[in-house]
Structure 1
Amino acid sequence: MELTLIPSMWETNQLIVRDLQEAEIGDVQALYFQGSYLGEWDGRTYDSDYITQCFTTGDIPPGGTKHHFKIQVLRMKESHKIIGLLATYHGHPSSDVFYITYFYVDQRLQSQGLGREAMEQLLQCVKEANYTEIRANVAIKNWPALRFWTSLGLDRIQGVFGDRTHSSQSFADVELVKKL
């Protein structure tokens, strides 16, 4: 079955979302670095080549292909300023599943509704592409993200992954699911 990918460019009231261009890698890597504080919640360390890797080879699951991966930037319509990034995988773990691998909005613009606006439109794009569910992996310690995703309807837990014991140095994630 051939997967339908979300559009290379789509819009919301305030945002233009489109595939990352090579000339934007440095700016988007800086935005990714801004979110490195998330490592306190998910145990990951900052990867100085993450955006380049996403652009060239993708952030793909085992057995996946670059063709099914997208990294997109969120820009304000008025200023054209890059304010966020979205990495997704089409068709994992099955062909009817759309997976959000990373989503981040500039820390100075969080809690202003821009992330919600982008995700509500993304949900519409995913439905139009005939996926039956959408998934996101969220660190259990990332309370703001858990509230955000569950408020969008990703409120079924598919699995819990990570450390089995609790400590300040242990980490785990939940895979959240919304049926479409």
Structure 2
Amino acid sequence: MKIKMIPNHWKTNRLFIKDMTEEEIQPVQELYEQGSYIHQWDGSSFDKEYAYRCFIEGDIPPGGTNAQFKIQVIRLKGNEHLAGLLTTYHGYPATESFYINYLYIEKEFHRKGLGQEVVSELLSIVEQAGYREVRANVAIKNWPALRFWTEQGLDTIQGIYGDREYGACKYADIELVKVF
């Protein structure tokens, strides 16, 4: 299978999603920082250059290329308010795999169905593009995200990675998969 990228611009009922531009780096970084509370669950460190790094280099897996990475902004239709951020990788760990690296919806819009709306349309686009599976990595301590992703159909455990024992300063991730 040849790697097919998701569109540069797509939409849902209430949102439009498009590739991030250079002018959006600072507001996207601010949005990323708003979601930095997840580091308490995944043990990662805060990345003060996340948006810039993603725009220039990508957030790519070992052996990956920037050409297969996308960082997209999620905006409300009508007023174009920046409501979220989506980063994805096409073709990892196998050519027929689509990886959702990061999805964040602005706190003000939590529990309003926007995340579900994005993922529902994204899954449709990915399936139509010929991918056989979608994957997402979630911190085991991030219960809201585990519930969210399993409700979206990413309910098969591919693997568990990280510390082997539980502890306040111990962390592990679970890789969830949806097979088409």
Query: How many Å separate the matches in 2 of 1:162 and 1:73?
Result: 30
Query: How many Å separate the matches in 2 of 1:64 and 1:44?
Result: 21
Q: Secondary structure at the match of 1:134?
A: strand
Residue of structure 1 in register with 2:165 after alignment: 165
Residue of structure 2 in register with 1:42 after alignment: 42
Residue of structure 2 in register with 1:124 after alignment: 124
Number of residue pairs matched by the alignment: 180
Q: Secondary structure at the match of 1:111?
A: coil
Residue of structure 2 in register with 1:112 after alignment: 112
Query: How many Å separate the matches in 2 of 1:129 and 1:53?
Result: 27
Following superposition of structure 1 onto structure 2, how do residues 136-175 of structure 1 map, counting pairs within 5 Å?
A: 136-175=136-175
Task: Give the TM-score normalised by the residue count of structure 2.
Answer: 0.99
Query: How many Å separate the matches in 2 of 1:71 and 1:89?
Result: 9
Residue of structure 2 in register with 1:62 after alignment: 62
Residue of structure 1 in register with 2:91 after alignment: 91
Query: How many Å separate the matches in 2 of 1:128 and 1:4?
Result: 10
Query: How many Å separate the matches in 1 of 2:44 and 2:107?
Result: 18
Alpha-carbon offset, residue 165 of structure 1: 1.1
Query: 1:117 is matched by which residue type in structure 2?
Result: E
Q: Is the 8 A contact 1:14 1:77 kept in 2?
A: yes
Q: Secondary structure at the match of 1:175?
A: strand
Residue of structure 1 in register with 2:18 after alignment: 18
Query: How many Å separate the matches in 1 of 2:78 and 2:139?
Result: 33
Give the alignment's Cα RMSD to 1 decimal: 0.6
Alpha-carbon offset, residue 79 of structure 1: 1.1
Task: Give the TM-score normalised by the residue count of structure 1.
Answer: 0.99
